[in-house]
Chain A
Amino acid sequence: YQRRVRGSFKRQLNERPSSPVKRSKTESKKRKLEESEEQPKKKLLKTISTSKVKIAMKTNNSNQNKPVKKLTIKAFKVLPKLADNYSEETWKKLQEAIQAVQKSERVGTSLEELYKTVENLCDHKMSDMLYQKLQSECQKHVEGQLYLLLERKTATNITFLSLVNNSWSSHCEQMLLIRSIFLYLDRKYALPNSSVKSIWDMGLDLYRVHILMNDDVKSKTIAGMLELIEIERRGETVDKGLLKNLVRMFCSLQMYCEYFEKRFLDATELFYVQESDVKLRDSKVAEYLLHVEKRIEQEGERVLHYLDSITRKPLITVLEKVSLQNSIDALITKGFDELMDENRISDLARMYQLFNRVNGLKKMKDAWNAYIKKRGSELVNDKEKDKTMVQDLLQFKARLDNLLKDAFQKNDDFTYALKEGFEYFINVRQNAPAEFIAKFVDSKLRVGKNKGTSDEQIESLLDQVMAVFRFINGKDVFEAFYKKDLAKRLLLEKSASIDAEKAMISKLKTECGANFTNKLEGMFKDIDLSKDIMTSFKEDLKSDIDLTVSVLTTGYWPPYTPVDIKLPIEMMEHQEAFKQFYLSKYNGRKLVWQNSLGHCNLRAHYPKGVKQLSVSLFQAIVLMLFNDSEELTYQEIVESSGLDDSKGELKRTLQSLSCGKFKLISKEPSKAPVMEGDKFRFNTTFTAKLVRLQIDSIQMKETVAENQKTKENVFQDRQYQVDAAIVRIMKTRKKLTHTLLISELYNQLKFPIKPADLKKRIESLIERDYLERDSENNNTYNYLA
């Protein structure tokens, strides 16, 4: 029976009564009978006296001689007749019972008997009438209930809710009881008949039509419920059970979506519109987002606690739309940059997740990109912070990478925006970042400053540097400075670790290709080769000259201008010997001595102690002049050393010897800078703590002139590349408009260049008759073979 009942409910309501049906003993027996009717072959005992069955009994008898006894029970052939006024009398009893139930009083007659009477009436074709009577009885009662509800003047909507709740609960209980009494009617008459509602459904229908559809009741109930919800939203506790019951009531009566939910969503929207307005104005973005997150959680719980699950999606959508979607721009403008500056990872992560719900990620990504460009440009353009630029860039990148990982879930669009932003701002100030990165790497690969750092730390630092280097457009500037500094490190033996040097080269190779690193690798080869040459030279000579020569292949190394100086005779002899040796081994080569790169170890006998001096060649030559004279004027030094001062070389050298930390010679007057009228003496009072002194730091330093020259070389080289590109393009195309030529050049050239500079090269080529302007059209160029 239970199964059948559920089936009928599915047809009509998709709902179950809120309290489980208590089975009476008769019902469980009924179930068994149910099964027996489906299995006519098996004959079971029926307790009701409507029919009789045959029972076949088999007795287990050991004595096979005695006959088997059989008992037969037959059904009556004729139905017993009912008394004439049976229906009226029975109806009276039933009616009493119904009313007792409805008054929550004890029912007089036994339930079993009532059940039987219903069964009798139905079997004697009085179901119809019975049903009608039952229905009208229920209706009467329900109408009475309405009256009671409306009659009580309640103070608030909320108190009204309890009344409704009570009325509904009672109704449900009562209908259940009534139904169990009239179960037979339900099963035999209502269920098979599709035009007749089941008793339960009939009860619901009555309740709906007569009570809940009543405008007063309906509006008061809904208003009361919404008030309670608002109170809860404002932070106080309310009776969730009450709300749950009422919601279930609406659902059972099929009035949830149309009447309750609609108004609920409207009220929700209104509430949150007001709240967002105020909160957006008064609180910071981070607080606001935290609050929205909490609200979303709360509304979710609200659905779980008492609303119907169907409301979940529209509710959250309304909340999101009102609190987030409408304010995306305002939130970003108000607080995004601030959150970024303060590196508020969890707040940004929250913003990301919330915006993800409302399609706000694109705008957030744009703000992210704009922030990177803004702060990055500031970083790069601030000339006062040039010394720390690379360090700052690395920190900036690391911070952004963290945010990308922790707050933005490595979102592809955000990753791309980071790359694009970085590439943009790092090239805003051309050439400077490339130069500084080269210097930074030089400082990390040099001896001295990095004593605390392990190899792994240096390696990971270089990796970070490469990640930033990747974005730079004018990599040739980097190459020029890197090469220059590498040369110094190699020649003056200032590399901290050859392994680290080689690691850096291979990183550059991966990043920029073999072309970029060919020359650098050539430099290493030259050093190794020079060592071999020196070994065989010393063997060959069979004596130990204290001379080490590095042979540099032109083209691999930065361009150096040879400086002529007057070397002491011994040095000259050694140099000559080597030159002969080398040229005998390698035909057809030309050797040019680069005096500016040479350095010496001198032993100096000072009155207060012998010192071992590590000096540059120029310094050595000047010092050795004092072997022959106590005092020398500036002019005399100029003549004797042969060091011309066109680039301030001599003055720098003298300054480093007489005005620096170690005054190896004394100057008159003693104040820097060195002037042409100065006099110099061997400093007899010189003293220092250590025996070994490094005076040659002068060679490692970069002068302003040197810096300028490196840059100019790069620009000059770029000009050649541009010219070559123009000629190459025009040779292929023969005839090309100005705009097309410019765009083609930008495609081919790998370094940044202004269109005005390109124009200058074009004009220069016109003048040199490589191209001409077309006679018809100024905008077009023709190739001149």
Chain B
Amino acid sequence: FLQYADEQNKDFINEEGLERFFQDLGIELSDILTLIVAWQFGAETFGEFSKEEFIEGFKSLRCESTRDLKNKLPSLKAELKDDRCFREFYQFIFNYVKGPDTKVLDLNMAVELWNVVLKDRFKFLDLWTSFLKERHNKAISKDTWNLLLEFSKHINATMTNYDDEGAWPVLIDDFVEWATPKISSVDKK
């Protein structure tokens, strides 16, 4: 821990230390594994680890050294194949990245996160992000974030199984309305 700890505050690893930590683990900063590790460690604030989190994290993963952790990474990634696990992870990320001061997540951040986390899991991801940029241009609420996962699991390829009178958030209602003609035109092509 001390290897990576901040100069000023020896109880925390800050961004710079975090970068080095991940480097040693062989993870790129843009890799989803950075988030997975943060999740497993129960990190509270984006971009830093507390001493307790760090130590408890290693303990709970039964690793004694960085190398142990490095070896464990593939299995951690594989864990996410379980739906339940992934859901927990997904919901964690929102709170983690947005931070404790605000209730919403900045749009650009959200888009970046989605591109990492929902890649290959959400068939309309690109359509979704273009919709948001074109129509929404506001921060993302927790409800929207969480429900997007359900939506990605539920919606079919032609968006025909969507019930707009159901409990889906209004933003997703709007998305379906906006995207449906675009999908059918693609089909026609």
Contact = CB atoms under 8 A, between A and B. Distances in A.
B116 interface: no
B141 A763 contact: yes
A114 to B, nearest CB: 102
Interface stretch (B7-15, B35-43, B161-169): B161-169
A64 interface: no
Interface string A759-785: 110010011000001000011110000
A760 B150 CA distance: 19
A116 to B, nearest CB: 105
B165 A755 contact: yes
A676 B67 CA distance: 76
Contacts of A759: 167, 169-170, 173
A742 B167 CA distance: 10
A778 B167 contact: yes
Contact of A767 (B143, B150, B168, B173): B143
B40 to A, nearest CB: 21
Interface in B155-183: 165-170, 173
Given A738-B166, A756-B170, A778 B147 contact: yes
B103 interface: yes
A763 B165 contact: no
B142 interface: yes
Given A778-B147, A778-B150, A767 B142 contact: yes
B178 to A, nearest CB: 14
Q: Size class of B's contact patch?
A: 10 to 19
B169 A763 contact: yes
A773 B143 contact: yes
B146 interface: yes
B147 to A, nearest CB: 7
Q: Which of B146, B150, B170, B173 has the most CB of A within 10 A?
A: B170
Nearest to B150: A778
A765 to B, nearest CB: 10
Interface residues of A, number: 16
A498 to B, nearest CB: 48
A779 B166 contact: yes
B143 A779 contact: no
Contacts, number: 35
A779 B167 CA distance: 5
A767 to B, nearest CB: 6
A738 B167 contact: yes
Contacts of B167: 737-738, 759, 773, 778-781
A257 to B, nearest CB: 64
Interface string A572-615: 00000000000000000000000000000000000000000000
Contacts of B141: 763, 767
B120 to A, nearest CB: 23
Contacts of B170: 756, 759-760, 763
A48 B149 CA distance: 125
A763 B141 CA distance: 9
Contacts of A756: 170, 173
A755 B168 CA distance: 12
B143 A763 contact: yes
A767 B103 contact: yes
B86 to A, nearest CB: 15
A756 to B, nearest CB: 6
Interface string B125-151: 000000000000000011100110010
A738 B166 CA distance: 7
Contacts of A773: 143, 146-147, 167
A184 B88 CA distance: 120
A780 B166 CA distance: 10
A719 to B, nearest CB: 14
A524 to B, nearest CB: 43
Contacts of A781: 167
Contacts of B103: 767
A737 B103 CA distance: 25
Nearest to B142: A767
Nearest to B87: A775
Contacts of A742: 165
A766 B166 contact: no
Nearest to A741: B167
A659 to B, nearest CB: 43
A737 B167 CA distance: 9
Interface string B90-123: 0000000000000100000000000000000000
Contacts of B142: 767
A766 B150 contact: no
A167 to B, nearest CB: 84
B100 to A, nearest CB: 15
A756 B167 CA distance: 10
Contacts of A737: 167
B143 A766 contact: yes
Interface core residue of A737, A742, A759 (most chain B CB under 10 Å): A759
Interface in B51-108: 103
A738 to B, nearest CB: 4
A773 B142 CA distance: 11
B110 to A, nearest CB: 15
Interface in A11-51: none
Q: Which of A737, A738, A781 has most B Cβ within 10 Å?
A: A738
A461 to B, nearest CB: 42
B136 to A, nearest CB: 14
Nearest to A781: B167
Interface of A: 737-739, 742, 755-756, 759-760, 763, 766-767, 773, 778-781
17 contacts: A737-B167, A738-B166, A742-B165, A759-B167, A759-B170, A759-B173, A760-B170, A763-B141, A767-B103, A773-B143, A773-B146, A773-B147, A778-B150, A779-B166, A779-B167, A780-B167, A781-B167
Interface of B: 103, 141-143, 146-147, 150, 165-170, 173
Q: Nearest 5 CB-CB pairs, A to B?
A: A738-B167, A779-B167, A759-B170, A766-B143, A760-B170
Given A778-B147, A780-B167, A781-B167, 19 more contacts: A737-B167, A739-B165, A742-B165, A756-B173, A759-B167, A759-B169, A759-B170, A759-B173, A760-B170, A766-B143, A767-B103, A767-B142, A773-B143, A773-B146, A773-B167, A778-B167, A778-B168, A779-B166, A779-B167
